Amino acid sequence: MERQLCGTQPILCAPVIRQVDLRLIELLESLEPAEWDLPTIAPQWSVRDVAAHLLDTALRKLSMGRDQCLVERVEIRSNQDLVAFVNRINAEGVTVYRRLSPAVLVELMRVACGQTADYYQSLDPFATAALGVSWAGESNSLVWFDNARELTERWHHQAQIRLATNRPNIMTSELYHPVLDTFLRGLPHTYKNVEAPDGTAVLVEIVGDCGGEWCLVRSSDAWCFASELPLAIAAHIVIPQAIAWRLFTKGISHEAAHAAVTIGGDRALVEHVMRLVAIVG
């Protein structure tokens, strides 16, 4: 039976964002008062801070995306400028919304998430998005990719809260596989300066019910995902789904990640998979 590879088809996940946000609201409603102040793996952010960030980004999506309200215009000349801008507005949002009581924050989250879900589903997935997915090397992206990037944000920040509060993660194929598929769309950009003979193939396997296989192949001028498995694989990495989201969002040390993955073939070549960062900042 032919093996099905991931990475070549659009990720049409707008309805999934609604489901992930519903799980977020259920999670926040279940927290005890002391749990709001627990530290997370996000540097210097508590559970309260991560929740505040998720509220802030949802409200910004409605204001800037749906309502086209841009009160601050910033000139972005480099990736460093983008990272500095994103870090600043994220910090500003957390500073404001962390002051809210849990009851107020959850109620505002309920309103914001419902409206953003409607907004995502109203968009043409094959239109051009207002912003490119920078960590994938795109200055212009299609709406489906921008929506998928938003899904990864909603999912992995919720996962940080679940990890901090010892709640089970939402690792179902419906909710987590598109997150993994989106993260790995950053691999061609990660490999852009990696030299190798044409036809060199790197196989990435994420094991677990939500995982899959992605095969990156070198062509004359770029690395691209293959739709069929090549006869020869130069390097192969196997990543448990439980740590994959942390690996690609700077949520685990390289030492711990290396201890959890299995590598075969050209170790130097496959090492670049471990360097994929699918967030800004």
Closest CA to 30 of 47, 8, 7: 47
What domains appear along the chain, each with residue ranges and CATH number?
14-170 (1.20.120.450), 187-275 (3.30.1050.10)
Separation in Å, CA 180 to CA 18, 20, 147, 153, 175: 17, 14, 14, 12, 10
Beta carbons within 10 angstroms of residue 94's beta carbon: 22
Question: Can you list the positions of beta strands (E) in 134-211?
Answer: 201-207
Judge whether 170 and 20 are in contact, CB under 8 Å.
Answer: yes
Closest CA to 136 of 241, 11, 3, 268: 11
Q: What is the pLDDT along the chain (281 residues), one digit of tens a residue?
A: 456 899 999 999 999 999 999 999 999 999 999 999 999 999 899 999 999 999 999 999 999 999 999 887 777 778 888 888 888 999 999 999 999 999 999 999 999 999 999 999 999 999 999 989 999 999 999 999 999 999 999 999 999 999 999 999 999 999 999 999 999 999 999 999 999 999 999 999 999 999 999 999 999 889 999 999 999 999 999 999 999 999 999 999 999 999 999 999 999 999 999 999 999 97
* Helix (H) or strand (E) segment spanning residue 59: helix 47-60
Pairing relationship of beta strands 201-207 and 212-218 according to DSSP bridges: antiparallel
Closest CA to 61 of 114, 138, 134, 137: 114
Q: Alpha-carbon distance 39 to 171, whole Å?
A: 22
pLDDT of residue 74: 75
Both tokens of 83, joined, read 């990272």
Judge whether 253 and 246 are in contact, CB under 8 Å.
Answer: no
pLDDT of residue 2: 56
* Helix (H) or strand (E) segment spanning residue 42: none
Separation in Å, CA 139 to CA 146, 160, 268: 11, 28, 29
Bridge-partner residues for 213, per DSSP?
205
Q: Alpha-carbon distance 152 to 18, whole Å?
A: 13
pTM: 0.95
Q: Alpha-carbon distance 40 to 30, whole Å?
A: 17
Beta carbons within 10 angstroms of residue 191's beta carbon: 22
Q: CB-side exposure of 240: number of CA atoms within 13 Å?
A: 8
Judge whether 218 and 152 are in contact, CB under 8 Å.
Answer: no
With a CB cutoff of 8 Å and minimum separation 6, the contacts of 34 are none
pLDDT of residue 1: 42
